[in-house]
Structure 1
Amino acid sequence: QIRELEKTIAVLPFENWNTEEEYAHMGDAIANEIITQLSKINEFHVFSYTSTSQFKGSDKPSIPEIGKELGANFIIEGAVERQKDDVSIHVQVIQSESDDHLWAEEFKGKWEDIFTIRVEMTMRIAEELKVVLSTEEIEQIDKKPTENIEAYNLYLLGKFCFSQYDDKKIMESIKYFNSAIDLDSNLALAYVGLAQSYQILVRHSYLPRDEGYVKAKRAVSKAIELNATLGEAYANLASIMAEFDWDFYGAGQEFQKAIKMNPNSSEIYSSYALYLLWMGRPNESINTIKRAIELDPLVPVTNGWLGAIYFYADRYDESIDHFNKMLALFSDFNNYPYAYLAYNYALKGLRQEAIYYADRALSYTDTSDILFCHLGWVYALSGEISKAKEILSKLQELNMRQTVDPFQFAVVYSGLGEHDKAFDWLLKAYEVRSGMMVSLNIYSNSFFKNISSDPRYIDLMKKVGFEVD
């Protein structure tokens, strides 16, 4: 029966039996590492930690309920305890529908032997799930990321901080990744972590664009130089090439490499869907983001992109319906659905609804968030001119303390109908090579709808590298 079931696997957050603060990340780190190892086996479809992390703690649903919600036939859970140089990891595999415990084992050893323990756990899980591994899969599972155990520990700490998806925590992750690289300059995964961290911080206007993107590209290029088999590195490089270099053709080629290397990565499909959207291919983008959700159904950001793509494809009712479902499904992910509900209603001409959801989104949105300027556009379009100008004023204040992407000012001025000012800021965005300029194509029928027929807009699109009829 086990052999016949599709090997869809969810690794739940491991219980942490440590009391020391320095080992607080161990439960998350070990679960993440098991996910990484199992993902090297072609027959396994392993859900990401982002999807499974919500089932952390004693109040989680039953195993059959978790399996049904994720679409996972098998659940792996366990606990980890580390005492200085010693580590103990308890692992069990459960068939989700029947709640039958198929196998459980405790792995003990020295922390310096964690790579050997990691391999043993992976091989035993594969054996219990009746999977025969190929020579290539065994080689991938056996491969050590580093010979330096302290570098590996620092990498795990960086990965843990990065997974919090908080700008300050991501800054902290950079310190850990760099410290890991100081101990082992050949640790490719740490360079991938650095590249992803820098790119997100630039997108969130937390780092100056020039500094962040140059460091991101340098880091991801080094990762590929060290390990040419990392699909996530090629996807990261593709995003950087599109946003930073405006090399759309080259980015597409790198995405194809990434998908070929890791055809079951929700993260890669999600990034590729965004690229397809930038290229003005919304139908392909929708199919691609649906594939990402199919692979990893409970990632809020990925689900949010499906609703966003519906919006940019002028499918407003589908977008509204999707975001309403998201609000019910992800109670802690509010600002993004509220903001896009506001955008949809604004373009449908339903001012009262647009303002209502803009107000809701604003209560969850920081001034530095990219959503902030778009809410100014909603208020302007819906007749709340004073609120739009208030947002503009706050952006100007923020711009005196840190660099604000000029593109954000253009969005608000477009909503206010001040076309010349919108173009002044768009020109500045072009001059500093703002990553947001890749949105010109999809904004032409949304946030810049009222200026997109202007020759200046068409000229900017051509300069960025878009093909314009």
Structure 2
Amino acid sequence: MGTVAASRLQFGAFELDLATGELRRSGSVVRLPPQPLKVLALLAGRPGALVTREELRAHLWGEETFVDFDRGLNFCVNQVRAALGDDADSPRFVETLPRRGYRFIAPVTGLPGPAASPGIVLPAPPETPAEPPSVPSPPRRVWPITIAAVAIGLVLTSAYLERPPSAPGAPVAHRMLVVLPFANLTGDPEEEFLSDGVTEELTTQLAGLPREQLGIIARTSAMKYKGTKAAVDQIGRELGVDYVLEGSVRRGSDRLRITAQLIDARTQAHLWAENYERELRDVLALEREVTSAIAGEIRLQLTPQQRQRLSDVRPVDVEAHEMYLRGRHLWNKRSPPALQQAIELFSEAAAKDPRYALPHAGLADCYVLLHQHGLLTPAASFPRAREEAQAALDLDPTLAEPLASRANARFLFEWDWAGAERDFLRSIELNPSQATAHQWYAELLTATGRTEAALSEVARARELDPLSLIVRTASGRPFYYARRPDEAIARFRSAVEMDPSFLVAHALLGRALEAKGRHADALAEIEQALVLGPEEPTTVAEHCAVLARLGRRPEAL
């Protein structure tokens, strides 16, 4: 296949704009440093063709470069794969040809674009075949000390990390932020729901900021650091974030005091800090003040509608808000008893303040989970989830979470897949940092046979919630249902390694191994799942089927 001559290249859910030098996924800018971006442009511009390591060296560092460039090139390719959610062992986009180079294996479509000076210039493909002659390559000259590595590091990172702040009106690069669990300074464990609630609500508020400029790590991954003493730079590396927001909460009588500070994850420099004290009834306004201050500090470009939303907050009944926070604290535990208690608290909060939308959103989430835990039938859970989601949206149409719950009901119970997709897309538009919405949408895409789009959504969910066991397990489902068992096995095994006590990961790994024909290995995983959950009916049935395939019919019966 030859060079794709176009200013924009589309592959899967991604679009690479050569004029602006931007990679986008489903409309959102994906952060990628300049040198890896050049590698991607060169590979995607020649889909199906071998691009040799020598060509890449010449294009990125020049023909006369004598440093050992292998480390720099490997870094670039790894960055490209991370941005695309790709895997070197089972690639969907970039294939490695050992000791030769790389090949872009996904279909690429050229899209028209406005005439502009290109930000990335693609070299012409070689006139001679790219196959290197089968003679030994001359030895490379290697510098005797680490100056080479330092030079490569500077080339790769200086323009990206040390660039000055964007000028007014200039495009703002996509960055990532995590809200760490706010500390409870009351000393009372019973008040933990309040600090956790403020953390979650700030996460939600920040997630409503422009998605092409700022991504927010999900609560699940952020809460892994609760009570730890991990350094900010370590958290930055583990979560892939640019900024860390941390703080504390203290309540006294009818007032709330919040301290918050924003830290650069790379330099650990404190960029902004502020103390707030308000009446409890104004807590939502306080949280939006914090959000607005952070948006200004990191120079996000807000639309008038977004600015209006941050300032348009009504006071909330103090008791209703406390009931909601206690309910959400229980919901996050995900256990059946906690979910039942959460339903009681959400119901009381909705009755206490009939104009308060969030308790209805919480009820919708509860009914979805009660079905997933097998505690309610679909007929008992999904209509209630849809009813509560609609009640929340009637009170506040800007809420993203109830849209995702309603979409799930439409998808799994009503079989209204077109309506479910509209709800998922609108939910993600309102809050692009909902890892769960991306994960659920991926399941819909999988069910409708759109594997590549599903993989893109799962990759986005993993970026937003990198420490989530649920999301990691879900990343194997599109491969399993697309009859790609090797790739499914790799992802399910990764989830098992993350938490060997997770029943679902063992069960799904067993199914993938069975699909591969590895019945003995499948039996071992399914039996481990049965140890963890002996009453789970699907796993019991799978166990019987594998025994039968192994010729152990009496045991299966």
TM tier, shorter chain? 0.7 to 0.9
Range with bigger deviation, 139-148 or 155-164: 139-148
The answer (yes or no) to whether the contact 1:192–1:223 under 8 Å persists in 2 is yes
Q: Please tell me whether residue 45 in structure 1 is matched to residue 215 in structure 2.
A: yes
Match of 1:367 in 2: 535
Match of 2:113 in 1: none
Q: How does 1:239-254 map to 2 (within 5 A)?
A: 239-254=408-423
Match of 2:451 in 1: 282
The answer (yes or no) to whether the contact 2:284–2:315 under 8 Å persists in 1 is no
The answer (yes or no) to whether the contact 1:354–1:378 under 8 Å persists in 2 is yes
Q: Please tell me whether residue 138 in structure 1 is matched to residue 302 in structure 2.
A: no
The CA deviation at 1:386 is 5.9
Distance 1:151 1:73, change over 3 A: same
- Structure 2 SS opposite 1:10: strand
The answer (yes or no) to whether the contact 2:208–2:431 under 8 Å persists in 1 is no
* Whole-angstrom CA distance in 2 between matches of 1:321 and 1:194: 36
Distance 1:316 1:128, change over 3 A: same
Distance 1:342 1:262, change over 3 A: same
Paired amino acid for 1:15:
A
* Whole-angstrom CA distance in 2 between matches of 1:127 and 1:237: 34
Q: Please tell me whether residue 71 in structure 1 is matched to residue 216 in structure 2.
A: no
Q: Which has the larger helix fraction?
A: 1
Paired amino acid for 1:91:
A
Deviations 1:197-243 (A, max 9, x none): 11221232212332222211211122222222223322221221122
- Structure 1 SS opposite 2:250: strand
Deviations 1:267-297 (A, max 9, x none): 2221111111222333332222222223332
Deviations 1:74-107 (A, max 9, x none): 0111121223323222211111111222222222
Q: How does 1:83-102 map to 2 (within 5 A)?
A: 83-102=252-271
* Whole-angstrom CA distance in 2 between matches of 1:372 and 1:106: 55
Distance 1:119 1:363, change over 3 A: same
The percent identity for this pair of structures is: 27
- Structure 1 SS opposite 2:247: strand
Paired amino acid for 2:227:
G
The answer (yes or no) to whether the contact 1:204–1:370 under 8 Å persists in 2 is no
Q: How does 1:111-190 map to 2 (within 5 A)?
A: 111-144=280-313, 147-190=316-359
Match of 1:192 in 2: 361
* Whole-angstrom CA distance in 1 between matches of 2:325 and 2:538: 29
Q: Please tell me whether residue 3 in structure 1 is matched to residue 172 in structure 2.
A: no
Range with bigger deviation, 173-182 or 254-263: 254-263
* Whole-angstrom CA distance in 1 between matches of 2:268 and 2:555: 54
1:62 to 200, 222, 231: 231
Q: TM-score, normalized by length of structure 1?
A: 0.76
Q: Which has the larger strand fraction?
A: 2
* Whole-angstrom CA distance in 2 between matches of 1:386 and 1:140: 65
* Whole-angstrom CA distance in 2 between matches of 1:265 and 1:98: 28
Paired amino acid for 2:201:
E
- Structure 2 SS opposite 1:106: strand
The CA deviation at 1:246 is 1.9
The answer (yes or no) to whether the contact 1:205–1:368 under 8 Å persists in 2 is no
Paired amino acid for 1:362:
L
Range with bigger deviation, 361-370 or 9-18: 361-370
Range with bigger deviation, 228-237 or 260-269: 260-269
Match of 1:422 in 2: none
* Whole-angstrom CA distance in 2 between matches of 1:202 and 1:299: 20
- Structure 2 SS opposite 1:357: helix
The CA deviation at 1:62 is 2.0
Aligned residues: 387
Q: Which structure 2 residue ranges, 5 or more long, are not aligned?
A: 1-162, 167-172
The CA deviation at 1:377 is 4.0
1:297 to 427, 447, 466: 466
* Whole-angstrom CA distance in 1 between matches of 2:428 and 2:189: 38
The CA deviation at 1:7 is 3.0
Distance 1:252 1:111, change over 3 A: closer
- Structure 1 SS opposite 2:375: coil
Match of 2:149 in 1: none
Deviations 1:326-378 (A, max 9, x none): 334x3376322222221122222222211221222222225257555444544
Match of 1:351 in 2: 519
The answer (yes or no) to whether the contact 1:310–1:316 under 8 Å persists in 2 is yes
2:507 to 325, 339, 342: 339
The CA deviation at 1:144 is 2.9
Match of 1:238 in 2: 407
Q: Give the RMSD, CA atoms, in angstroms.
A: 2.4
Match of 2:28 in 1: none
Deviations 1:27-61 (A, max 9, x none): 211111111121222132111101211111134x3
* Whole-angstrom CA distance in 2 between matches of 1:372 and 1:168: 25
Q: TM-score, normalized by length of structure 2?
A: 0.65
Match of 1:213 in 2: 382
The answer (yes or no) to whether the contact 1:380–1:388 under 8 Å persists in 2 is yes
* Whole-angstrom CA distance in 2 between matches of 1:186 and 1:386: 61
The answer (yes or no) to whether the contact 2:501–2:532 under 8 Å persists in 1 is no
Distance 1:282 1:182, change over 3 A: same
